[in-house]
Structure 1
Amino acid sequence: MPSSTLKNSITDTFHQLDKGLAEHVFAFAPREVGYVTSVATGIVKVSGLEGTGFEELLKFSEDLYGIAYNLDEDEIGVILLGEDTLLNAGDEVERTGRVMDIPVGDHMIGRVIDPMGIPIDGKGNIATNKRLPIERPSPAIMDRTAVNAPLQTGIKVIDALIPIGRGQRELIVGDRQTGKTQIAIDTILNQQGKDVVCIYCAIGQRAAAVAKVIANLEQKGAMDYTVVMVAEGNHAAGLKYIAPYAATSIAEHFMEEGRNVLIVYDDLTHHARAYRELSLLLRRPPGREAFPGDIFYIHSRLLERATHLSAQLKGGSLTALPIIETEAQNISAYIPTNLISITDGQVYLSPKLFEAGNLPAVDVGKSVSRVGSAAQLPAYKSIVSLKLQYAQFEELENFSRFGTRLDENTKKVIDHGLRIRCCLKQNELHPLTVSEQIVVLLALTNGLFDAIPVDKIADAEAVILNAMGQFPAEVLKRLFDDKPLNDADHDTILKIAGELLAPFDEKSESDKSEPEKPEPDKPSK
């Protein structure tokens, strides 16, 4: 048995045994009880529990628990997993003999839960008898395999230029209100029918924003394969701190069964702030920007759990899309740089593109996938020149703003680039299939849109998407093969696309509309 599986199996077995033993031992032995010495926002100081272990779960009442985090000589610093309004100095606190855990299993799918695993969707209790600790060791290096299968987002600009693979950790970064969450939601919607379990973990979000996300998922039928975990902005900092770890344990259960899982952390900025708040209240020494020195570690041990397991471990995968918020486009700030160094690439959203209406506002120049074409279908290699064409356009566009006289070749590059920008626009909640993306982008890279006015590009693209039935089914099926697109299929797609786009041709329309000029009368002698 591989080392990682053995280690996780032993850990989970001992956790279940410890939990069972604790229930029996604590049922017949005298209770080990301590007392609350002081209460602050989100944390409690406790004395009298000398046998408490690090991160042990402590019980204050039937509905209130805490995690022992600071083990000092004379007292324990406890992170509360709930509100402290009814807690006072002198109240009793009891050991549980186990660490924080979360229920896992298929019954969690389609439900909305809090970080304690308690359902908050009004659909009754969750019938599951398996629980996993929220903190688990990440798989060993030898138990992992290469990321070589794509996780299609349904977003043209990402699937074509910044591909994401199953088992990858791709950061979504940008200022607030630039569409970060929407990219994650569109990716979840695109997993419909692909046997991928999705988990959306909302950390510190407004209740109205989370309700809108859940409504969109339900409307599109995505809740049939999705688990939503919610730690709202007005919840205790302790709940916001444990939320991503609890969500990852739910995801790991499916991954270890050999299934593919997608998890979204929205967002880790609030997670870092919650941990900073708790650390300062526990009197831990502040470091850079008042964040504690182990802030990098709490995110690295979280994201290292995302991987693609080897075939001996059933080959499951866990793909992570952490979201981080920047201020004034400062991606070199402390927390964003931490996450950039941990993840395998980032999708950067530009507020300038967002304000200009270029949605999704992905800045191709600042975005990167370190897995690259290894996690992309070979058919996308037929449009590999798209990124270079777009980069040339952006560079020349900056020069053209100075009013420089441009030669004909430069004008063609700029005109082509404008059409690339228009074609990369996409409506929210409308992910595209692989076939739709490749057909449109293949026509784009081969100049079929160049003769179409910019304001008609969207209509021309819609005509192609609505006429996908006219493309031979065997050609579209070969787009998913392990080989690049052959010349015959390439020409077939371009021929049909050219016929569909012919009515939008600017030049042909002008030729038809222009009346024939009568020959001038010859002067009389």
Structure 2
Amino acid sequence: MTADKTDSADSLLQQQKAWLTHYRPALRVSEQGYVVSVGDGISWISGLPTAAIDDVLLFEDGSRGLVFDLTDSSVGAVLLHATDQLTAGTGVTLSGRQLSLPVGDALLGRVIDPLGTPLDGEAAPKCDAYQRLLQDSPGIVERDFVHQPLYSGCKVVDTLIPIGRGQRQLIVGDEGLGRSSLALDTLINQRGQQVPCVYVLIGQKRSTVIDTIELLRRYDAMDYTTLVVAEASALPGLQHLAPFAGCAIAEYWMHRGLHTLVVYDDLSTHAKTYRELSLLLRRPPGREAYPGDIFSIHAGLLERATCLNATQGGGSMTALPIVETQQGEIAAYIPTNLISITDGQTYLDAELFSGGFRPAIDIGKSVSRIGGKAQHPVIKQEAGRLKLDYLQFLELEVFTRFGARLEAAMERSIKRGRLLRELFKQDRLSPCSIEFQLAWMVAYNDGLIDNRTPAQIPRLLSELQTAVASSGLTLEEGRERWAEKLTDWLADTLTTQPEESR
């Protein structure tokens, strides 16, 4: 016998002795169930009397399921993985554990499914920790007030609808108005901010998934982002678990004192998937055929996004759930549910989009209930004056449609409002620094650009952005210092405009 075989035999013998040392004879009872029926991503199982909701089930053919419904005689389960051999009569056992997935820094830059299986063709990530997908949100005593801003890079959002770290801000609007673009802009703007991000794609087409991955790679955002994907062809059970998986990944970083951002794209599709599973499992339908607990499902998910206090590490999880409306109907069932759960909403309007105003954010229907408390004082001061002027302009502009003669003061307000509307316009994937946003707000509020025309605004903003970037000024410089520098810039370097823009 060779030395290697001898070492192997000795190791096996030591393992057996160790097992015998800890072995205690006792009565062991195990349950063996069997599949009654299977199809459409669910399975009915008989013979598991102690099964509980959210228990993981193991099938003899290698499939896996999650207990989703209980009756007097059978168990309803959603399939998480199904082989071609799964059929009626297949044996089923309880795994004895709750559903969890690997979490940690090894997931940054990776594309995974809701169970942690890699979808990017690379080896499985080596993670030392596991996090449960379905668990309670932090208690009241563990939370802190939202007190730090999370900058999106969008001028309208950062000034008028600010987001704080730990906030839940809903993005709502019809399809094709730029909801996902706004979320991706926010995620890209976190580059260099030490904010690990999670982007969850629920029931999306594969082409959409590929486009999202390529976009994030192009802007070097994959370095700090994890993509959780349950595409349209995935099992309904995986689509249902996708946002919970993304939340669990971000939760791991939050409990370690980091500030995280998670995007759910989108919860309308998630609600439809949950409705599909519930109807297949014969649960009684409610409004619009959704089950009665759809509100608590989304509330349990979004309540896990919060800001922890110092004793819990001081981390935070900011959530940007996306929901789709039909024909701009913001009062539909799922949108109103989510509006009542979240801390504010950013509403995108089809008429603004058609009129060329991008991003098409309706200031009147959008609100951030707690984000203002996280704004920097100087930003909050300038933005307050700005919002009042803009809302007054929107009311006054209605009168111009009837050709009515207006007073000189009203004419000035309308002229300034049109300048402000041009200032708010912003191209996709062009986030602005918060210093630049303070600069143009001070310039507008002090009337330093009142002599400009709307056609001159794009070039003025471009030159102003360059000047601010090279100045090294920060928000702590004070408003007077900013106003002084802006007066010099606008007088010296921004006075010349091309003839066609005059």
TM-score after normalising by structure 2:
0.91
Structure-1 residue corresponding to 2:160 = 161
The 8 Å contact of residues 110 and 225 in structure 1, kept in 2 or not, is answered as yes
Change beyond 3 A, Cα 1:322–1:215: same
The 8 Å contact of residues 452 and 505 in structure 1, kept in 2 or not, is answered as no
Q: Give the counterpart letter for 1:229 in structure 2.
A: V
- Deviation at residue 383 of structure 1 after TM alignment: 3.8
Superposed, 1:64-463 pairs within 5 Å as: 64-83=63-82, 86-380=85-379, 381-463=381-463
- Deviation at residue 86 of structure 1 after TM alignment: 4.3
- Deviation at residue 30 of structure 1 after TM alignment: 7.2
- Deviation at residue 29 of structure 1 after TM alignment: 6.1
Change beyond 3 A, Cα 1:86–1:386: farther
1:500 to 471, 478, 493: 493
Q: Which SS does the other structure have where 2:495 is aligned? A: helix
Q: Which SS does the other structure have where 2:72 is aligned? A: coil
Q: Which SS does the other structure have where 1:97 is aligned? A: strand
- The CA deviation string for residues 133-164 of structure 1, in whole angstroms up to 9 with x for no partner, is 10111111111111010001011110011110
Structure-1 residue corresponding to 2:483 = 490
Change beyond 3 A, Cα 1:63–1:440: farther
- Deviation at residue 379 of structure 1 after TM alignment: 2.1
Distance 1:135 1:498 in 2: 59
- Deviation at residue 505 of structure 1 after TM alignment: 9.4
Distance 2:44 2:61 in 1: 19
Distance 1:377 1:461 in 2: 22
Distance 1:115 1:422 in 2: 42
The 8 Å contact of residues 397 and 414 in structure 2, kept in 1 or not, is answered as yes
- Deviation at residue 264 of structure 1 after TM alignment: 0.3
Change beyond 3 A, Cα 1:201–1:469: closer
Q: Give the counterpart letter for 1:439 in structure 2.
A: A
Distance 2:499 2:62 in 1: 69
Change beyond 3 A, Cα 1:61–1:439: farther
Distance 1:215 1:243 in 2: 21
Q: Give the counterpart letter for 2:287 in structure 1.
A: R
- After alignment, is 92-101 or 284-293 more displaced? 92-101
Q: How many pairs align? A: 477
Distance 1:494 1:142 in 2: 49
The 8 Å contact of residues 324 and 336 in structure 1, kept in 2 or not, is answered as yes
Superposed, 1:467-486 pairs within 5 Å as: 467-469=467-469, 471=471, 473=472, 476-477=473-474, 479-480=475-476, 485-486=478-479
Distance 1:411 1:186 in 2: 35
The 8 Å contact of residues 39 and 84 in structure 1, kept in 2 or not, is answered as no
Q: Give the counterpart letter for 1:425 in structure 2.
A: K
Q: Which SS does the other structure have where 1:58 is aligned? A: strand
- Deviation at residue 469 of structure 1 after TM alignment: 4.9
Structure-2 residue corresponding to 1:49 = 48
Question: Percent of pairs identical after alignment?
Answer: 44
- Deviation at residue 501 of structure 1 after TM alignment: 2.7
The 8 Å contact of residues 451 and 506 in structure 1, kept in 2 or not, is answered as no
- Deviation at residue 404 of structure 1 after TM alignment: 1.6
CA RMSD of aligned residues (A): 2.1
The 8 Å contact of residues 165 and 371 in structure 1, kept in 2 or not, is answered as yes
Change beyond 3 A, Cα 1:492–1:459: closer
Distance 1:196 1:391 in 2: 34
Q: Give the counterpart letter for 2:488 in structure 1.
A: K
User: Which ranges of structure 2 fall in alignment gaps of 5 or more residues?
Assistant: 1-22
- Deviation at residue 503 of structure 1 after TM alignment: 1.5
Distance 2:252 2:60 in 1: 29
Distance 2:175 2:59 in 1: 38
- Deviation at residue 83 of structure 1 after TM alignment: 4.8
The 8 Å contact of residues 178 and 359 in structure 2, kept in 1 or not, is answered as yes
- The CA deviation string for residues 478-502 of structure 1, in whole angstroms up to 9 with x for no partner, is x047xxx342433333332343332
Q: Which SS does the other structure have where 1:67 is aligned? A: strand
Change beyond 3 A, Cα 1:470–1:258: closer
Q: Which SS does the other structure have where 2:329 is aligned? A: coil
Q: Which SS does the other structure have where 2:196 is aligned? A: strand
The 8 Å contact of residues 58 and 95 in structure 2, kept in 1 or not, is answered as yes
- The CA deviation string for residues 263-303 of structure 1, in whole angstroms up to 9 with x for no partner, is 00000001100000011111100001101110100000111
The 8 Å contact of residues 61 and 86 in structure 2, kept in 1 or not, is answered as no
- After alignment, is 173-182 or 32-41 more displaced? 32-41
The 8 Å contact of residues 452 and 506 in structure 1, kept in 2 or not, is answered as no
